[in-house]
Structures are given as structure tokens and as C-alpha cells.
Chain A
Amino acid sequence: EDQVTQSPEALRLQEGESSSLNCSYTVSGLRGLFWYRQDPGKGPEFLFTLYSAGEEKEKERLKATLTKKESFLHITAPKPEDSATYLCAVGDILTGGGNKLTFGTGTQLKVEL
């Protein structure tokens, strides 16, 4: 059974204080590692997909990396608007076709002035 564990559960940073969020996973056959951002009262918003170990992707202050066992979301010089819950999910192909995402419970990030 696919499992995804995210750490820390919550993180409080000062504006400009860089840090990393961790996502460790066990999966029989990885079909993508997905990062999402979720704001209160909203649905998950897609950020990145990583498909193979060594792959990296960047978007503004965010950079996602992938190894065979875990993924990191690095946040460089964060701003208050980066405050959100960040979700990690692993993709798998269902027996009948189609996609299944197995989600972690998320890291709640708060960036303060």
C-alpha cells in the first residue's frame, strides 16, 4: 500500500528565512510525485510534478527535488503570501485505468513579518 509522510506538520518562519519541507514515500510503482498548495477554504492548487530521481523544478521562491525515497520542497526567502498548507502526493495507475493520488497530511506553513 502506498504511503506518504510529510514533515514537519507545522512550520513557522520569519520573512526571508529559508527552509525545506519533507515528503517521504513508499510506493510500488511511482507515477509522479506531486506538490500542491492549499489555502484555507480552497481546493489544492497544483505546483509541481516530478517523475524521476534527480529531477528538480522551480517556480518563483519554490524548488522541488526528488530522490528514490523522498522529495523536498525548498522555500527560499519566503514572504507572508507563501503561508499555506503544502500537500505532497504520489501518483499511481489504477487497475481500471485512471489516476490515483495518495496524499500526505500536509505541512502548514506560516510566514511572519
Chain B
Amino acid sequence: RKEVEQDPGPFNVPEGATVAFNCTYSNSASQSFFWYRQDCRKEPKLLMSVYSSGNEDGRFTAQLNRASQYISLLIRDSKLSDSATYLCVVSGGSQGNLIFGKGTKLSVKP
């Protein structure tokens, strides 16, 4: 099993749609969880941290299920500017203390 697994997509959705991304991780000892966003030909940038109680930032909601080792990101009322690749990131790996998933590509169409 890969350390962090994501559906690569692409997810093609119309503006205004709600879209959900899922991620599973293999290390049950992981303590920190994040979603990063990477625009085409740009560096990854932190979108939000993910807390056990779940957290919301505007149109974005992140959930963590430790028992199932599962993380989700929900985007409501999608905007054209949300088009990007979303990276699931988990701590506790042997390499550099964060393990990045390969990302899920989102394309929001008018």
C-alpha cells in the first residue's frame, strides 16, 4: 500500500458544483495532515491544515478519520480559480517528515 494515495482525476466540474476529494494514508502514527494546492507550473502552497475535529475555511471543509486513515476535502460553490491540483500531505513518513500524495487534478469549467 502506498504511503499516501489519492485519486489522480481529473475531476471536471461546472462552476458552482460541490466536489469532494479523498485520500488514504498508511502510517497510523501520523500526527499532522494538510491539503496543499499546486497550480500549473507553480510551487505547492498550503491550502489548509486538517484537524481531528474537522475544520472549515470559507468554501473549503477538511475532515480526518483516524480510524479509517482517511482524509477528505470538500469544495462548495466551485470557482474557475479553484482549478488546480490538490495534494494530500501526511506527517510521520521516513522521508523528510511529510509525505505528499501525487495529487488530484480539478478543472472547473464555465
The judgment on whether A and B are partners is: no
Q: Which residues of B contact A (CB under 8 A)?
A: none
Q: Interface residues, chain A, CB within 8 Å of chain B?
A: none
